[in-house]
């Protein structure tokens, strides 16, 4: 009889989800993957991600009708805990995207990366938008302001990551 550990090694493939993603990408299938605890603990955020991916948000706004302002930690934390699958994380700067009628519709936060191997870059820590709202050009507007502020502070540019469980990482 194989030991419990060796049986697990034979059936558990650490790259299973990555392979699934690559097959779907090759076939032009949009794959969204959630961990079970995310669905259990953050079901509304998961549903919002799916709805947004299907283009079914109730409200569609344009970034030109919004303005970006630096916001405080409490406002950023409350917004991100409610709208981002990973919630809030430490950050140096917090930016809010405000619509004249709807108020705060998006948040981006930046920080100095933990790893210094990337040089003197600012890191996009979080970006999220209000559930049920699409802001065309909103990500670009938040990134542009974040990058400008980072460069004024002496950073050489911005570093960001994309969680491929929810999309391809493209801003379009």
Residue 25 pLDDT exceeds 70: yes
* φ/ψ bin of 28: left (φ > 0), alpha (ψ from -120 to 50), beta (otherwise): left
pLDDT digits (tens, 9 = 90+) for 55-64: 999 999 999 9
Residue 116 pLDDT exceeds 90: no
The 3-state DSSP class for residue 155 equals coil
The helix or strand, by DSSP H or E, that contains position 125, with its residue range, turns out to be: strand 122-129
Prediction pTM value? 0.84
* pLDDT given for residue 121 in this prediction: 94
pLDDT digits (tens, 9 = 90+) for 89-112: 999 999 999 999 999 999 999 999
């Amino acid at each position: 009889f194989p030991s419990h550990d060796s049986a697990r090694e034979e059936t558990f493939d650490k790259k299973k989800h990555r392979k699934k993603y690559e097959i779907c990408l090759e076939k032009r299938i949009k794959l969204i993957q959630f961990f079970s605890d995310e669905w259990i603990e953050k079901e509304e955020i998961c549903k919002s991600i799916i709805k947004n991916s299907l283009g079914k948000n109730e409200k569609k706004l344009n970034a030109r009708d919004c303005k970006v302002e630096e916001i405080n930690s409490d406002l950023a934390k409350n917004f991100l805990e409610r709208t981002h699958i990973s919630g809030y994380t430490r950050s140096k700067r917090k930016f809010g995207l405000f619509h004249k009628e709807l108020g705060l519709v998006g948040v981006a936060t930046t920080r100095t990366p933990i790893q210094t191997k990337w040089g003197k870059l600012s890191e996009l820590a979080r970006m999220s938008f209000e559930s049920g709202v699409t802001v065309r050009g909103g990500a670009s507007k938040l990134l542009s302001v974040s990058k400008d502020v980072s460069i004024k502070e002496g950073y050489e540019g911005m570093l960001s990551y994309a969680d491929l469980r929810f999309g391809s990482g493209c801003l379009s």
